[in-house]
Amino acid sequence: MRPMLKLLTVAALGAAPAVLAADGTITGKVDVTPGKYLEETVVYLKGVKAPSGKGPESKSMDQKAMTFIPHVLVVSQGDTVKFLNHDNVVHNVYSPDNEGYNLGSFKQDEERSHKFQQEGAYTQLCSLHPEMLAYVFVAPGPYAAAVDKKGNFTIAHIPPGTYQLAVWNSHLKTPDKPVTVGSGETVTQNLALKR
């Protein structure tokens, strides 16, 4: 074996294996005052692109007992939402927000779909039943979560790095907060929104 080739072979065999960074998690609780707006809250990361190979997804929002379920649905840009009707009455789904859309009227067990291209919140309304209200929140990427009934949230599978943690609420605002997530680390961030 020639000296140069032998040197390269030894160097290649002696190299330490690359250590892959493990994804992290952000968890916490959002305190909202007044509390009636708590369930209309989403926590998300700004400026984080989806991992390579992750394409658009399809999610569902149902209509049961004259209510949109869930009340807040979080999707990513490019995702499609299937609007279902499991009530025994005709419903209509529309939103005046962003590009706006009207999916027309549809009967029990029928569905309509809409692909969401713009970031932000879309109010979901039914022109036949004005008391019905929900939201589709289109996050810039997959790192977003609606809070639960107690204000808890978890955003998982986050690549290590420093990000801006943001909150959307239907009525209240709070400044973005910088957060650093280490490899395999779970970071706790509690947030407060007040009028």
Regarding the domain delimited by 52-142, which CATH topology (the fold level of the hierarchy) does it fall under? Immunoglobulin-like (2.60.40)
- Tell me the C-alpha distance between 45 and 143, whole Å: 6
pLDDT band at 108 (very low <50, low <70, confident <90, very high): very high
Considering the chain, what percentage of its residues have pLDDT values greater than 70? Answer: 88
pLDDT (tens digit per residue) in 134-149 = 999 999 889 999 999 9
- Tell me the C-alpha distance between 142 and 158, whole Å: 9
User: What spatial distance separates the first Cα and last Cα of the chain, rounded to whole Å?
Assistant: 76
Asked whether residue 5 carries a pLDDT value surpassing 80, the answer given is: no
Between 191 and 8, name the one with better pLDDT.
Answer: 191
Same fold, 21-48+147-195 and 52-142: yes
Q: Break the chain into its structural domains and give their ranges.
A: 21-48+147-195, 52-142
pLDDT band at 118 (very low <50, low <70, confident <90, very high): very high
CB 46 within 8 A of CB 175: no
CB 164 within 8 A of CB 60: no
pLDDT value of residue 128: 92
CB 28 within 8 A of CB 189: yes
- Write the CATH number of the domain with boundaries 21-48+147-195: 2.60.40.1120
pLDDT (tens digit per residue) in 18-56 = 445 689 999 999 999 999 999 999 999 997 777 766 778
Considering the chain, what percentage of its residues have pLDDT values greater than 90? Answer: 80
- Residue 66: which region, alpha, beta or left (left: phi > 0; alpha: psi -120 to 50)? left
- Residue 15 forms beta bridges with which residues? none
Written as six digits, the tokens of 195 are 């009028």
